[in-house]
Amino acid sequence: MKNILYNAAAIIFFSSPVFAENLTNQINVIGLIPGISTPAQVNAAADNGITNSGLGSLDKSLDTLNSGMFTIGGIKMNCAVSFDKNKMELFSCVTGMFASNVETHNILKRGFQEKFGTPYIDKDSVIRNKLGVEYNTNSVSWKDKSGNALILRMMVDKLDQGDLTIESNEFLQKQEQQENARRF
């Protein structure tokens, strides 16, 4: 449910008009470019290749979902990737699996700031667990001139896990269309 709400908020936010000075030229993480990279390029970027989840063929052009281990900024993470028309549309990684998610988030945030400049969004917030204990968290996002998005969140469904997501403009547009179709 949290991811659905987050995705809906991201769709609305990322579909809004933005100022050109807040956009990076092109999102490119470990050589992977949303809306451009092919299954072969993603496979080559993975530590040991990617495997098919059984939800679609790596060679088919629609609804393929594959996963693998990737090293980004010196940090290993498990990532899922989907393709549309043999182009990477969604690349989603769980952070905090092999190192502290807070440390991982801070390393990746610094690295992406050096590479892409000032983020489009940099939001600090407080979340609370079931016992009422509060934790500081951060979400940061970049958007490129093609409308692709890079989203890094310190904490998601669990306090010890965050995520890194790269979404193509085409994927964001499809998500927005689906969201618009659900409105009452």
pTM, rounded to two decimals = 0.81
Residue 45 reports pLDDT greater than 60: yes
Q: Is residue 53 a contact partner of residue 81, using CB atoms and an 8 Å limit? A: no
Residue 94 reports pLDDT greater than 60: yes
Pairing outcome for strands 121-128 and 51-52: unpaired
The two structure tokens encoding residue 99: 């190192």
Q: Is residue 92 a contact partner of residue 163, using CB atoms and an 8 Å limit? A: yes
* Number of separate helices (H) and strands (E) present in the chain: 4, 8
Please give the average per-residue pLDDT across 56-76, as a whole number. 71
Q: Is residue 75 a contact partner of residue 94, using CB atoms and an 8 Å limit? A: no
Higher pLDDT: 53 or 143? It is 143
Please, what is the average pLDDT of the chain? 83
The two structure tokens encoding residue 69: 């281990």
Higher pLDDT: 71 or 22? It is 71
How far is CA 70 from each of CA 16, 39, 94, 101, 177, rounded to the nearest angstrom? 31, 14, 11, 16, 31
SS3 content of the chain, % helix, strand, coil (to 5): 30, 35, 40
Q: Which of 10, 171, 162, 156 is nearest to 77 (CA)?
A: 162
Residue 61 reports pLDDT greater than 70: no
How would residue 148 be classed by pLDDT, with cut points 50, 70 and 90?
very high
Residue 63 reports pLDDT greater than 80: no
Residue 182 reports pLDDT greater than 90: no
Higher pLDDT: 159 or 28? It is 28
Sign of the C-alpha dihedral, residues 17, 23, 27, 29?
Answer: negative
Exposure string (b/e) for 74-91, b if CB count within 10 Å is 16 or more?
ebebebbbbbbeebbbbb
Higher pLDDT: 98 or 162? It is 162
Structure confidence at residue 66 (pLDDT): 85
Q: How far apart are CA 92 and CA 96, in angstroms?
A: 13
> In a 3-state reduction of DSSP, which class is residue 19?
coil
* Domain positions in the chain: 2-181
